[in-house]
Homo-oligomer: A and B are copies of this chain.
Amino acid sequence: MHDIASRADVSLGTVSHVINGTAPVRDVLKKRVLQAIDDLGYQPNHLSRGLRRNQTNLIGMIIPDIMNPFFPSVVRGVEDMAYKASYRLLLCNADNDVQKETAYLNDLRSFLPAGIILIPSLDHKIASQGAGPPVVCMDRVPKGWKGDSVTVANEAGGHAAAEHLIEMGHKIIGIVRGPSNVVTAEERVTGFVKAMKAARLSISPEYIQEGQFDRESGYTCTLRLLNMLPRPTAIFTASDLMATGALAAIKASKLKCPDDISIVSFDGLAFTELTEPALTSIFQPSYQLGYTAARLLLDRINGEDFPPQNVMLDTELKIRDSVRRI
């Protein structure tokens, strides 16, 4: 900036004013400054700017693990929205480890980010945010959370899954659910069971097996369900990963999907089109999730003073080939 000032023969302050539009500057001077900036290929230093302003154009994002196929599109959603508003993304993988997450959270703050987007680990009790940049919680929102958040209508999704199976004539249905300490897992089951109740169908507890959202547990849980008598004609798996385990289990049991047993899954990840059969699944708008969270955060950053808000995004039933009419 100093060089620019001398080159344009103005003071440092004027250069700053031109750059930030923080005070009107005579046209001649402005032109000279802009020219000098261009000549010198000047780019403002984010660090000193942040230091002075007490805020950078960084958005910190903490997620469990980018290798989990659910998160890339969430991240991309955030980045796209952030990029539009000239913010950059500082990405952290916390591995569902509360310690790592808190460490990251603290560390992030000393970059003076404009805001933070957090997908909390399963058992994180977040201290309600005190000072510091605004935080938006996403996907799974801890019980005590008082700030902004964006979530998916998990219960409605579970409900829709059940309705679909019921409509297709299924009555004896098994569930491979997610871990009971995870809100989203809980909600999906709740919705599902509600829909069954509404249709006067019952489901006894042993027909609800608890897995870990991963392929492995999907496999074993499904195996257990297949041994029940009467054998369910359909299974609701609470994640796509578990659904792939279910498919494997069905195959291993010399059964066929959907001929012998139908599956409705949850997530709607890209690869569900590629399995055999392609999976009917409750699609979560993952990109939108990130995009929306970022928008909310930006509003907050820009000082909008609405009360803490929870945006809930709808799921969508994607019908493919894993459910058969009975």
Interfacial residues, chain A to chain B (CB-CB below 8 A): 43-48, 50-51, 56, 58, 65-67, 69, 71-73, 75-76, 79-80, 88-93, 106-107, 109-112, 244, 247, 270-271, 274-276
Alpha-carbon distance between A111 and B50 when the two chains are bound, in angstroms: 10
Is A48's CB under 8 angstroms from B46's CB?
Answer: no
Quick one: given A65-B76, A107-B88, A274-B275, are A48 and B51 in contact (CB under 8 Å)? Answer: yes
Is B93's CB under 8 angstroms from A91's CB?
Answer: no
- Nearest-neighbour CB distance to chain B for A322, whole angstroms, equals 12
Return the 6 tightest CB-CB contacts between A and B, nearest first: A276-B276, A271-B271, A91-B91, A47-B51, A43-B110, A66-B72
Is B112's CB under 8 angstroms from A244's CB?
Answer: no
Return chain B residues, CB-CB under 8 Å to A247: 274
Residue of B with least CB distance to A91:
B91
Is A89's CB under 8 angstroms from B91's CB?
Answer: yes
- Nearest-neighbour CB distance to chain B for A150, whole angstroms, equals 19
Selected A-B contacts with CB under 8 Å, 13 pairs:
A43-B109, A43-B110, A44-B110, A46-B110, A58-B90, A65-B76, A71-B72, A75-B91, A88-B90, A88-B92, A244-B274, A247-B274, A274-B275
Is A76's CB under 8 angstroms from B72's CB?
Answer: no
Return chain B residues, CB-CB under 8 Å to A110: 43-47
Is B66's CB under 8 angstroms from A93's CB?
Answer: no
Is A45's CB under 8 angstroms from B112's CB?
Answer: yes
Is B79's CB under 8 angstroms from A93's CB?
Answer: yes
Return chain B residues, CB-CB under 8 Å to A46: 110-111
Quick one: given A69-B69, A88-B90, A89-B91, are A106 and B274 in contact (CB under 8 Å)? Answer: no
Task: Name the one of B73, B92, B274 contacting A274, with C-beta atoms under 8 angstroms.
Answer: B274
Task: Name the one of B76, B80, B274 contacting A271, with C-beta atoms under 8 angstroms.
Answer: B274
- Nearest-neighbour CB distance to chain B for A268, whole angstroms, equals 14
Task: Name the one of B43, B50, B67 contacting A72, with C-beta atoms under 8 angstroms.
Answer: B67
Is B79's CB under 8 angstroms from A73's CB?
Answer: no
Return chain B residues, CB-CB under 8 Å to A91: 75, 79, 89-91
Q: Beyond A47-B47, A47-B110: 10 further Cβ-contacts under 8 Å?
A: A43-B107, A45-B51, A45-B110, A46-B111, A47-B56, A47-B111, A67-B73, A69-B270, A71-B72, A88-B107
Residue of B with least CB distance to A48:
B51
Alpha-carbon distance between A271 and B240 when the two chains are bound, in angstroms: 12
Task: Name the one of B48, B66, B111 contacting A76, with C-beta atoms under 8 angstroms.
Answer: B66
Alpha-carbon distance between A89 and B44 when the two chains are bound, in angstroms: 21
- Nearest-neighbour CB distance to chain B for A57, whole angstroms, equals 9
Is A112's CB under 8 angstroms from B275's CB?
Answer: no
Alpha-carbon distance between A48 and B307 when the two chains are bound, in angstroms: 33
Return chain B residues, CB-CB under 8 Å to A274: 244, 247, 271, 274-275
Residue among A56, A106, A111 with most chain B CB within 10 A: A111
Task: Name the one of B44, B47, B79, B106 contacting A50, with C-beta atoms under 8 angstroms.
Answer: B47
Return chain B residues, CB-CB under 8 Å to A112: 45, 47
- Nearest-neighbour CB distance to chain B for A156, whole angstroms, equals 26
Task: Name the one of B51, B75, B88 contacting A51, with C-beta atoms under 8 angstroms.
Answer: B51
